[in-house]
């Protein structure tokens, strides 16, 4: 049933303030959701002098940010970039993000973020989140289990982006060995809420919002232990309740392409409730079809030297594009049907957990055994690739020379990376409430919904059709901060 949400949620049916009999609790700023955006909104609102209450649905805050790998996309000349010997400036960062996050990238948000990214680095580190002052070389990969601070987490070095903007590594990973740097970052930030005087109430499911006769959001209905409470927000409500990757009905309605990706990245709370709460008071949800779709085939970086082909045996893009851009191209353009060709020199442990479609001592034998490509197509593709690689220039897609070796050591192999066979395709949603960089939520006419702010994946952030790792924590922490400031600033 696409018409009802799984949990019969009534997030979109706003409550009239005139119908509120008792206000159970109140604060200046009420933050719905204690993930990365929520905690940053709360800290900044509190710093601005507001009384702040964070309502968290789970038994403890953290959200999807606490499950993330702790990468923040930052740049423009951060101390970490400088310590590692990389030059960067806000303009190059801006040009890169606009080019890689579109069409539909929010240029205004990107502009503000690029101009303040260094300041944001200082804010994050000032809050106690450490970054080891070391660079992880691109040949090693993007998210191995090291504690290095800086790495490339996008397509900065790949064509055409390397010609559009001067490349610089901008993935800033909080210092923690293994993959739970996001948890460490969140625990560091969350630990500051109580000392700062921010109240956090867990096990509290919020929906819907409460608005007054003028359409101003003045609070939120919360359910605690099965009991309904009305929480008043004197200055504003900040929605930071995440995306909607775990709401199948919403995926079917808004993002049928993303819906096909089975491995969904997010915590249980990413059911779009916050987005629907905002819509219930007139908030406009935009770019709802947009998603980060990842096909992580290159964690073994050797594989970037392989050849990606589509269902008719053609190459379709440069293999050194970032894994999230490859995933989006693979789904929107190639319908999830993509294959990786390696030679014996590249085929080494650890292998990708997927089917071997074919093995052959020659390209012709490989194509014949694969039995899915038009006759001669794969052979032509590989011969062309080898000729280009030998000459040192990828004439089709300009893969960087560092990844360009002829496939010369038989046997050759075709790995099946199609959506049907390769289980590691993953996705999360990028669409959400339309906000100004300040976090003010806009309605379908482009006008502000008074009293309402949104941040993180509850809003549509910087990227639309295009993604770089670290942009979600960047959007969460930075847009959270701005929303907290804006909400606290309101006075009647």
The contact set with its own copies (CB under 8 A) reads 1-5, 9-14, 16, 102-104, 213, 215, 249, 252-254, 256-257, 259-260, 275-276, 279-280, 282, 284-289, 312, 314, 332-333, 374-377, 380, 384, 395-397, 434, 436, 442-447, 464-465
Least Å distance between CB 279 and its own copies? 4
Which of 123/159 has CB closer to its own copies?
159
Least Å distance between CB 111 and its own copies? 13
Which of 361/447 has CB closer to its own copies?
447
Joined tokens for residue 392: 């040192």
Least Å distance between CB 209 and its own copies? 12
Distance between the two ends of the chain, CA-based, in angstroms? 44
Q: Which helix (H) or strand (E) holds 377?
A: helix 377-391
SS3 79: helix
Least Å distance between CB 137 and its own copies? 30
Q: In this structure, are residues 317 and 324 in contact, taking their beta carbons and an 8 Å threshold?
A: no
Question: Alpha helices, DSSP H only, in 24-180?
Answer: 36-47, 79-83, 90-100, 107-126, 161-164
Least Å distance between CB 110 and its own copies? 13
Which of 127/216 has CB closer to its own copies?
216
Pairing of strands 227-239, 217-224: antiparallel
Which of 284/343 has CB closer to its own copies?
284
- The Cα–Cα gap between 379 and 356 comes to 18
Q: In this structure, are residues 5 and 246 in contact, taking their beta carbons and an 8 Å threshold?
A: no
Which of 78/100 has CB closer to its own copies?
100
- The Cα–Cα gap between 305 and 131 comes to 30
Which of 53/220 has CB closer to its own copies?
220
Q: Which residues contact 456 (CB under 8 A, 6 or more apart)?
A: 33, 35, 36, 37, 38, 65, 240, 242, 472, 475, 476, 479, 480
- The Cα–Cα gap between 68 and 254 comes to 24
Of 119, 48, 22, 47, the residue nearest 79 (C-alpha):
119
Q: At what angle do helices 363-370 and 377-391 cross, to 10 degrees?
A: 140
- The Cα–Cα gap between 96 and 92 comes to 6
Joined tokens for residue 134: 């070391």
Which of 91/335 has CB closer to its own copies?
335
Question: Alpha helices, DSSP H only, in 230-290?
Answer: 248-254, 256-259, 273-280
Least Å distance between CB 118 and its own copies? 27
Q: Which residues contact 287 (CB under 8 A, 6 or more apart)?
A: 104, 430, 431, 432, 460, 464
Q: In this structure, are residues 237 and 30 in contact, taking their beta carbons and an 8 Å threshold?
A: yes
SS3 308: strand
Least Å distance between CB 9 and its own copies? 6
């Amino acid at each position: 049933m696409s018409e009802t949400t799984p949990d019969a949620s009534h997030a979109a049916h706003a409550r009239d303030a005139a119908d509120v009999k008792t206000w159970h609790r109140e604060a200046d700023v009420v933050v719905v959701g204690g993930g990365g955006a929520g905690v940053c909104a709360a800290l900044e609102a509190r710093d601005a002098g507001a009384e702040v209450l964070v309502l968290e649905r789970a038994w403890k805050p953290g959200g999807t940010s606490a499950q993330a790998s702790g990468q923040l996309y930052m740049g423009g000349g951060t101390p970490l970039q400088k310590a590692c010997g990389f030059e960067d400036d806000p303009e190059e960062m801006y040009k890169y993000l606009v080019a890689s996050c579109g069409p539909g990238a929010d240029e205004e948000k990107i502009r503000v973020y690029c101009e303040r990214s260094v300041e944001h680095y200082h804010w994050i580190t000032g809050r106690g989140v450490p970054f080891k002052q070391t660079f992880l070389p691109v040949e090693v990969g993007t998210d191995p289990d090291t504690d290095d601070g800086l790495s490339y987490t996008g397509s900065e070095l790949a064509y055409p982006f390397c010609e559009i903007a001067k490349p610089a590594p901008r993935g800033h990973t909080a210092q923690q060995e293994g993959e739970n740097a996001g948890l460490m970052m969140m625990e560091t930030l969350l630990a500051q809420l109580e000392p700062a005087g921010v109240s956090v109430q867990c096990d509290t499911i919020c929906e819907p919002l409460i608005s007054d006769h003028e359409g101003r959001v003045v609070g939120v209905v919360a359910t605690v232990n099965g009991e309904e409470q009305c929480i008043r927000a004197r200055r504003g409500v900040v929605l930071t309740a995440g995306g909607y990757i775990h709401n199948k009905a919403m995926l079917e309605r808004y993002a049928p392409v993303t819906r096909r990706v089975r491995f969904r990245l997010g915590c249980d709370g990413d059911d779009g409730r916050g987005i629907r709460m905002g819509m219930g008071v007139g908030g406009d949800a935009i770019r709802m079809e947009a998603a980060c779709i990842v096909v992580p085939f290159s964690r073994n970086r050797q594989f970037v030297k392989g050849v990606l082909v589509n269902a008719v045996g053609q190459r379709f893009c440069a293999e050194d594009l970032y894994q999230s851009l490859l995933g989006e191209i693979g789904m929107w353009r190639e319908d999830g049907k993509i294959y990786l060709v390696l030679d014996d020199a590249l085929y080494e442990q650890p292998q990708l957990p997927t089917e071997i479609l074919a093995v052959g001592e020659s390209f012709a034998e490989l194509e014949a055994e694969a039995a899915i490509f038009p006759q001669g197509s794969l052979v032509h593709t590989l011969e062309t690739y080898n000729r280009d690689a030998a000459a040192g220039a990828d004439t089709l897609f300009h893969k960087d020379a560092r990844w360009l070796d002829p496939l010369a050591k038989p046997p050759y192999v075709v790995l099946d990376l199609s959506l049907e066979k390769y289980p590691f395709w993953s996705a999360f949603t990028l669409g959400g409430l339309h906000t100004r960089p300040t976090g003010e939520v806009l309605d379908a006419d482009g006008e502000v919904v008074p009293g309402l702010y949104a941040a993180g994946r509850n809003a549509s952030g910087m990227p639309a059709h295009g993604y770089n790792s670290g942009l979600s924590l960047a959007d969460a922490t930075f847009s959270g901060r701005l929303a907290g400031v804006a909400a606290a600033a309101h006075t009647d």
